[in-house]
């Protein structure tokens, strides 16, 4: 079956008891046992739940993995992933990451003695230099948050595996509708299901998908031990969102393309970051490893912080809020919001200026979104 058909049918057959076309929501914290350790596959809600199991199987299938695990947030998924890397482990990570990801990796560096290095993984010479010596984990985003830089996942995976490292890719921005990192050589895919997979700004969730079952089994033990699991209702909401992921991503991309094209070359915009633009330095890589370019556009507003704040105040359709990937358009100021935990000198060094604004283009009419950003720029 093709991808959009699989979104609706993979691992989600009608309920055999009732014929319900939606997976039932099992709101039970515990399950009856016929005798001690004689049960029907479920014991306790933290360890496993039938609704969550359907979500995990669906995510694994869509990401071309062998097994998936669902969590209560994207950072809950990352925290559990890092539990597998003890003190002294060497982690090579991208230098343009979601602020919460940077904060957690830096915490493990300071608190637990993990050797975390933040570098530009979009540069082949940098990757070659970093992976000449053994590593335990290579962690990356592609496209990155918030600068929309790309990483050649296949090339990084090849070099990382030669260095003995596991490769984990945060695929939140692209989703499996546009990019499947395991097919490119990655070992683990991470998602904040809060974003495009849920798609309606009504849940908080995360997920890990694994290339092999052995690694997944080890992390299933950690999932149960750490306990950062989603509720059955949140699992159901992500399943509901997945069913429209394909059509939503097309609409998000249509809007983002329109906004990026309208702002490219605008006299009040220093730079437009969007991999769908031919001017993007990694546009050829985007065409090669993605089937679409996504719904996020970042712009650097001329005039710095004051101009960016005036721009934010004047927006009428875009809502100033953290998060992204919902049906409504959201706008974020990374330096003071999602990336405020990153020290200022590091933000600036990586290109996250005070004038940078991240636009999450929803599924409204693209013309209305274009009109909104243009009128806001006039007053900035």
Ranges in the chain annotated CATH 3.90.1150.10 = 246-378
Model confidence over 201-239: pLDDT tens digits? 999 999 999 999 999 999 999 999 999 999 999 999 999
Nearest to 193 by CA among 329, 46, 63: 63
- What was the pLDDT predicted at 16? 86
Name residues whose C-beta falls within 8 Å of residue 80's C-beta, 6 or more positions apart in sequence.
69, 71, 208, 219, 222, 223, 226, 228
What is the pLDDT averaged over residues 52-78? Answer: 98
Domain 246-378's class?
Answer: alpha beta
What is the pLDDT averaged over residues 165-188? Answer: 98
Model confidence over 250-302: pLDDT tens digits? 999 999 999 999 999 999 999 999 999 999 999 999 999 999 999 999 999 99
Q: Write down the number of H helices and E strands in the chain.
A: 14, 12
- What was the pLDDT predicted at 311? 98
Which of these is catalytic: 98, 196, 274, 293? Answer: 98
Calpha distance 135→92 (Å, rounded): 7
Q: Is 46 a catalytic residue?
A: yes
CA separation, residue 380 to residues 266, 292, 310 (Å): 12, 31, 5
Q: Is 306 a catalytic residue?
A: no
Which of these is catalytic: 170, 187, 332, 372? Answer: 170
Show the tokens assigned to 303.
Answer: 């005039």
> How large a percentage of the chain has pLDDT more than 90?
93
Q: Is 331 helix (H, G, I), strand (E, B) or coil?
A: strand
Calpha distance 312→323 (Å, rounded): 15
pLDDT band (50, 70, 90) for residue 96: very high
Ranges in the chain annotated CATH 3.40.640.10 = 3-242
Q: Is 314 a catalytic residue?
A: no
Topology (CATH level 3) of domain 3-242 = 3.40.640
Q: Is 170 a catalytic residue?
A: yes
pLDDT band (50, 70, 90) for residue 379: confident
pTM beyond 0.75, yes or no: yes
């Amino acid at each position: 079956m093709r991808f959009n058909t699989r979104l609706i049918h993979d691992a989600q057959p009608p309920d055999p008891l009732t014929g319900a076309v939606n997976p039932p929501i099992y709101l039970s914290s515990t399950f009856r046992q016929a005798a001690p350790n004689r049960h029907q596959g479920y014991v306790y809600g933290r360890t496993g739940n039938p609704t969550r199991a359907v979500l995990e199987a669906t995510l694994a299938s869509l990401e071309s993995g062998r097994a998936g695990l669902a969590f209560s947030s994207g950072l809950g998924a990352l925290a559990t992933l890092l539990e597998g890397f003890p003190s002294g482990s060497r982690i090579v990570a991208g230098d343009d990451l979601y602020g919460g990801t940077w904060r957690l990796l830096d915490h493990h560096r300071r608190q637990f003695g993990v050797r975390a290095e933040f570098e530009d993984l979009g540069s082949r010479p940098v990757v070659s230099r970093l992976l000449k010596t053994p590593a335990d984990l290579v962690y990356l985003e592609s496209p990155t948050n918030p600068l929309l830089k790309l990483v050649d996942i296949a090339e990084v995976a090849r070099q990382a595996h030669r260095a003995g490292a596991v490769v984990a890719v945060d695929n939140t921005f692209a989703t499996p509708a546009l990019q499947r990192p395991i097919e490119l050589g990655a070992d683990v895919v991470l998602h904040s299901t809060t974003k495009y997979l849920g798609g309606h700004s009504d849940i908080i969730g995360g997920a890990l998908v694994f290339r092999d079952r052995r690694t997944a089994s080890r992390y299933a033990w950690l999932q149960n031990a750490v306990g950062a699991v989603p509720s059955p209702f949140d699992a159901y909401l992500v399943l509901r969102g997945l069913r429209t992921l394909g059509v939503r991503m097309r609409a998000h991309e249509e809007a983002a393309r329109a906004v990026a094209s309208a702002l490219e070359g605008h006299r009040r915009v220093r730079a437009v970051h969007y991999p769908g633009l031919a001017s993007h330095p990694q546009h050829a890589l985007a065409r090669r490893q993605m089937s679409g370019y996504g719904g996020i556009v970042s712009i650097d507003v001329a005039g710095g912080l004051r101009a960016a704040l005036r721009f934010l105040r004047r927006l009428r359709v875009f809502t100033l809020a953290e998060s992204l990937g919902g049906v409504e358009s959201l706008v974020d100021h990374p330096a003071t919001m999602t990336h405020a935990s990153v020290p200022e000198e590091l933000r600036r060094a990586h290109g996250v200026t005070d004038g940078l604004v991240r636009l999450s283009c929803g599924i409204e009419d693209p013309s209305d979104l274009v009109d909104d950003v243009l009128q806001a720029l006039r007053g900035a």
